[in-house]
Structure 1
């Protein structure tokens, strides 16, 4: 299995790489490939045809090239300081057309890992390219660090509809089964009795249910994130919540609130 790490900022490289190693603990034999970004996110989000991106004679002379070099420096620094048993890690350079390269590499991966920087908009173009590949995406805060050296030990699942139909739950099975604790978070307008077991999240999987009422002072995404953090979860699994497109969901208010409020790693899929 391949874990693809997409680094958009040097400042978030350690978070990306640590998250990839944590995820790899549940994927025996996984390898990690690391890609920096080259083309600006603004160009990609503008949806310009791929043929409009002209090859560069010397990418190092551009601001994007300097950003990629800084990302590689951060990667090398991480390699020097990483003390754990890491899977094989390989650095890759992108071609001239970043969205095409990222999408192609993502389609060949089992998981894509990114970090959320201070400016979430800076990565949106890359997010769009990744979501088009329909590969599960792990997003961590820019300064995220693992709580446990052995991976994600407590996994929470945001349940907003029939979890058995959730692509996110299917994608999360390796981490759900490797976790020492699994909690299903459900937010209701009125408090109801929680389901008696966790069959919706996986057969023979022991699940704790955390059912709370909707808070009027918080957006839904913020409340999901805060509940997961308060429970001490290492990973929060979320689906598309009824949207036909995860790109649409990414741009929606619930996801914005979730990303902005979460200090927990997020696994998204559609």
Structure 2
């Protein structure tokens, strides 16, 4: 399957790391949008849908992609387009999972789209719904609570140091590990946050949790495997607070080793269809902080991604 250029649209975030200060213009026959607000993004996607766009190129980072995925259903309904990701952000975790390297250009993506057949990979994003509707529903790929929120906030300093992509993730993990390893049980790193967690309709357990991570990705930067061996589905990692024997557990968890003593010490990996997390603490979705609450996490419909 190949696409005509008249059925391709581009959503470009001019504030993304690689795009900042660089002007760009649409190629002939390609619909273009550089929305400044969620309402403008929704309008651009409706315009694309009305024009029969079958491929949407997202030129931005993980946050831009999250906003596009979240707005797609209202614009396209069940007839979702193929997406292509130009990794223009600071970390680009989904692009890494798809095998899209930094530097993949719009011209290269358009050439790939015209190739017969196109290269496609399928991923199912997380769907996140806040009870009470105080926060709009989101679609994304990495959810975090507890120490992950602090590590994400710390990553902004890493970016200011000039570290991006996998290096930024690595430095953030090292910094978070340092804070957790050498902090006291009552400090901000180790004390965790109190949260209820329920998997697949089971009764929620309420406890202090050092970290909760949820993803549908198979591959993370630097070969990290905190969810175990790569597999499809909604994967959950939870660690009780304060984390026990962290110096010994951390390398085992990050390398994906399945050792019985980890679970006994409060390190739990799970595969689920539905997760409900209840906590007033803030959470992170694809690199941005959002309010806590009662949040239901599931798997969305499969999305096809164009890859090199």
Shorter-chain TM-score above 0.5: no
More helix by share: 1
More strand by share: 2
Q: Name the larger-Rg structure.
A: 2
TM-score, length basis structure 1: 0.29
